[in-house]
Amino acid sequence: MGISVKKIFLAAAVLGLSVTVSGFTSYSHAAAEASGLSMNHWTKPSEKGSLRPLWSIPAASPIPENKELRESRAAAGDGQFYIVQQGVLKALDAADGQLRWSYGTDLNPKIVYSQGSLYGSSEDGTIFAVNSKGKKLWESARTVTKAGKLVPAGDTLYVLRGIDIFAFNIHTGQLRWENHDTFAADGGMELAVQEGVVFRSYTGGITGSAGTLKAFDASTGVKLWERSGVKVPILIRDDAAYAVCEPGPFAEPEAELKLTALNVKSGEIKNNYLYNWSPRPLSGMRGYTAEAVIEGDLLYASHNGQTVIYALSQYTGAGDQPKEMFAGQFQDIVQPLPGSYSDRIFYEARSSLPYLLLKSIHIKDKSAVTYNIDNPAAQISIFGNGVYVGQMDGKFRAFELGSGAGVFTVETDSRNYGPVLFEKGYMLIQTDSQFLGIKIPDKLK
């Protein structure tokens, strides 16, 4: 034919064809334009196969951005999960997802469970209570439209909204008192109630204070005292309210963590605790205040990539050294989870991967465990012997707490999750589009 192999290859290269000659094949493709900038990451895929939920039902709306709405989107108790769907409160059997009863119309998508009863509000502002069998207990005469958060505490149901507090008798729904702090711009959604006193923080207003803690008589709503630069107490006992101090944006910090013990009734300072364990932050910078929780006599604090443990009863001064100090396995703590669980501290850790890892360290023997997630975590829950992570790639993963071994993966097709609820051997996964019922494996209980 007079056509050389070389000419065949040249023609094929132009046309992007594959050609076979004398038992071998040559592939050639038309050139593609290269990226201007490029980066590639490889991540280890999940080693566990998918677990099918026992049951699922559609969600009425996606996971809300508002924290209070996320936390009250569903509730659990008495062997049931509770949700508000299309304005109706529904009780679902935790084991099979079957509807056991429904209640009401035009209800807001917030529900709170406490000691056998559920509390919520309707679109017209009526506050209501039903028991776990669906029987109406009461409806309030005083309405609270656009209620922000419902907080059951003792014999009172507190309803928060902006600068307002409403206190209802939890057994009858009768309004006991209401308080409207017109000196503040807004009120926090955290509430602490103990020893006959209600504590709430407020921001802005006439004083211009960044944050002010105010205390009210729990029976009358009368304000007892206020103190600026103090957060809601993290512990109340023996007539003392222990609270983290947060000075103004231009104040010189007295310590890395300043904890104050206030007289519950008068607000007078009983003691101040100053803790320093890492280099002092620069004066005038916001966000230098450490986060802290108290468990028994132990104070857990986190700041600047470190978690420390102090004994409150052994405090002598600002130079005290912590009982324990953790900076992570490789100085890698980015975001610690508050406090401890099963004698471990948990934290999100920096890594060479394009997302944070999840790790824990045993407080006593310093052994470390890595929970090998393979995408960024959107939700982390620790319960029983299990560590549960909702990943942003739509996978929900479970690990053994002590070993880090993967147990199961659930395909959720969601990047957002509400808090995981646990009830009598079952769990409820909340996603943007559905609620998923899962039986907890024995090894994770």
pLDDT mean across residues, the chain: 89
* pTM for this predicted structure: 0.87
**Domain definitions of the chain by residue range:** 1-29
Per-residue pLDDT at 304: 83
Q: Rounded to an integer, what distance in angstroms lies between the CA atom of residue 330 and that of residue 256?
A: 23
Q: Are 378 and 391 in contact (CB under 8 A)?
A: yes
* Beta strands 192-194; 197-203: pairing state: antiparallel
Residues 6+ apart with CB under 8 A from 412: 390, 394, 395, 396, 429, 431, 434, 436
For residue 181, what are its two tokens? 């702090």
Per-residue pLDDT at 68: 79
Q: Rounded to an integer, what distance in angstroms lies between the CA atom of residue 368 and that of residue 148?
A: 40
DSSP state of 139: E
Per-residue pLDDT at 129: 98
Over its C-alpha atoms, the chain yields an Rg (Å, rounded) of 28
Q: Which of 370, 403, 368, 371 is nearest to 390 (CA)?
A: 371
Per-residue pLDDT at 63: 86
Q: Rounded to an integer, what distance in angstroms lies between the CA atom of residue 397 and that of residue 142?
A: 44
- DSSP per-residue codes, 265-278: TT--EEEEEEE--S
DSSP state of 332: -
Give the chain's end-to-end CA distance (angstroms, integer): 78
3-34 tens-digit pLDDT: 444 443 334 444 444 444 444 444 445 556 87
Per-residue pLDDT at 98: 98
201-203-205-206 Cα dihedral, nearest 10 degrees? 70
- 3 state DSSP class of 443: helix
What is the full per-residue pLDDT of the chain (445 aa) written as tens digits? 444 444 433 344 444 444 444 444 444 455 568 778 777 766 666 666 689 999 999 998 888 888 878 889 999 999 999 999 999 999 999 999 999 999 999 999 999 999 999 999 999 999 999 999 999 999 999 999 999 999 999 999 999 999 999 999 999 999 999 999 998 999 999 999 999 999 999 998 655 456 899 999 999 999 999 999 999 999 999 999 999 998 776 677 788 899 999 999 999 999 999 999 886 554 444 445 688 999 999 999 998 889 999 999 999 999 899 999 999 988 999 999 999 999 999 999 999 888 999 999 999 999 999 999 999 999 999 999 999 999 999 999 999 999 999 999 999 999 999 999 999 999 999 999 999 999 999 999 9
With residue 318 as reference, give the H or E element that holds it. Answer: none
Q: Which residues are paired to 117 by β-bridges?
A: 114, 131
307-342 tens-digit pLDDT: 999 999 999 999 899 999 999 988 999 999 999 999
What count of other Cβ atoms lies within 10 Å of the Cβ of residue 45?
7
